[in-house]
Structure 1
Amino acid sequence: MDATYEGFLKGGEHIYRELPDSIQVFPGHNRIKISWQLLANPAIVKGKIFWNNGKDSVEVPVSQASGKMKLSAVINSLDEGSYTFEIYTYDKAGNASIPVDTTGNVYGDAYISSLANRLIQNASIVGDKVKILWYKAPEGRVLGTELSFTDQDGDTHLMEVPTDSDTTTFNIHPQGDSLKYRTLYIPDSLAIDTFYTAYQSLKLEPPIPLELNKSGFSEFPLPTDAALYSATTVMPNLWDNDPATFYETKKGSGSPHWFTFDMGVTASLDHYTLWQRGNPTSLFYANSSPRKWEIWGSNDPNPDGSWDDSWTLLGSFESVKPSGQPLNTNTDEDIAQAQAGDAFAFPAPTKPVRYLRIKILQTWDPGGSDHAFISDITLYGTAE
């Protein structure tokens, strides 16, 4: 009948103090924090934590006389690994409680070496801004990513990039190769330390031109723009990716004449492809297909439609027939290129602009350059 208690009665009667309760373990970097609750008792003067098979210990003084209190200790200078801890409470006479065990992990260099830095798709200067495109954050308890750089005045900047953010932009240009980044982790939700990957240098590359999303394109008619030829040759035909449709300006619009549209984003443009009206194919490099034109850009067009300082010339272009044959004579090569679309590059990546104005200077029918038609246009660049 006494078997349950027999082990505690050897050597006579013992007094066992109150047990530690609600133990929590908080892992850290070569350290650990252990906390527990205890119902205050004036007789209890200290707690003690043992580890390493009882060879090492730390003492926690107890001073509260009443109520429920929370005790804790941070154990430093621990090697990385898993530990078992025994916690006791003691009274003034040295009577101890029954030990309460708990386990916890300590993290160090081995854990840090396993951490992966967040990957970057592209980091570049777009106009006057730095733009960084991130891949998805690594698996694990990632807190975020930290950017560090020195600006042109020698001041240091730190920026936090949230885990769910896939784009970072800022308008401070880093000095030299000072831009670097690291990713922040916690190994456990209760961890008392944040762990960092090693800093990785970040070189700003030329931006990778991507096709601009045409779903954001829209008409932006201004008072001096050319009128529409008909209700079926509307401007949205320019970005519907359908070679059978086309946009056409009204006959008598003048030479030169122009039209304006909104890209929906501010972007630095690199190149574009233009498709001529080609139904029938005899209209390739003929009739009112543009032969010479300019593209202008603006971020704040004057609402009166004037050509003031709000517009910047982005490039002058000319359509060239591959065969060089006379008008109304198209070879198979001419037709194949027109069907594939004529590609044009801007002289250099443009300043970031949102609104484009295409100024038709001459069509393939010089006498009919007072109006023009175009099937489609696709723009490539780097959007802010």
Structure 2
Amino acid sequence: MKRIHILFFITLLILSACKQDVLGPAEKDNVAPGQVTNLAVVNLNGAAKISYELPADRDLLYVKALYTTKQGVKETKVSRFNSSLTVEGFGDTAAYQVSLYAVDKSENASAPVQVTVHPLTPAVKLVRDSLELSPDFGGVNVKFTNHTEESLAIIVLANDSLGQFSPIYTHYTNLRKGDFSVRNRPSVPTQFGVYVRDRWGNLSDTLIVTLTPLFEELLDRTKMKGVVLPTDAPLGHGGSIAGIFDGNTTGGHYHSSDAARMPQWFTFDMGVTAKLSRLTWFMRPGYFYSLHNPRVIEIWGSNNPSPDGSFDASWTLLTAYTQIKPSGLPEGQLSQADTDAALAGETLVFPLDIPKVRYIRFKTLKNWSNGTYVNFYELMLWGDTH
């Protein structure tokens, strides 16, 4: 019986301790901790890192910074295990005052210690100054450099259907450098604007240019059909050339058989003779930048393919292309930029001096897994048939 009483007493102690943990510190006081000392500032792009020494208070919980940017009052907190914090969200290089507080477990705050920071040029301005705009097929191409790898939005403006100069596309990125195109614009002189926004709402000024998009039109997929030549890769796993022209990026697909070897190719008739501007293919859903999706390819064109299937003088190399994963992450890992790019389709742009052709050979030199067959879900082509 004595043993039972002892066990019951121990259980009560454990429950009492758990209750105290849930409700907060066992003891509260009204004594504020000491201030942080020996402050040092390292100014960063649109931010500043502030180092300090902590007070000796045993119940110290965290350090917080309060400051005001052009976008309003902001707060940053770090635990007592840190000896520095970073204040960010500054949209210019003006001087800003930051107040630092030491806070204990009873939420008592020390008297503030004030320090002035002078942020370096923010990412929105750096990226804005790096922008390069040029005519592209059906629109405009925007190149940018983002040395800080800040998460940004690059907004493109043009006249909408009501003639209002307004945003028509937003490109989200944290990549160090890149480019993107905005299309489906007529081939007439067009005014485009571009500005940059960060996650705190800071905006750059707007770059405005007038340029004429290069003419192109989407070729009619219903006129496209496979042409089987002797050296083409055998099909397998329910794949077909028709599947990549069915208008469905998640349905019918091309799939070569296990007997295929690298390099390999398939041939199709576009149904029209065209000077091609660009080609887009869509990877297999669930396997972006992996397995048997084509990675290193060549696109060949002809108007009179040799019936023996050889790459003789009847074929012209239109372009060679290597697919690059935006994030550079290992296979099986995807960033949001990777997923967005995959859903938009992988687009290659043809050189301006290629000849008009009717027949296309899609040649894969390497897929993403170094495997023996190729698998993807849809293919689209643009060009000029006139």
TM band (smaller chain): 0.3 to 0.5
Structure showing greater Rg: 1
Q: TM-score, normalised by structure 1?
A: 0.44
Q: TM-score, normalised by structure 2?
A: 0.44
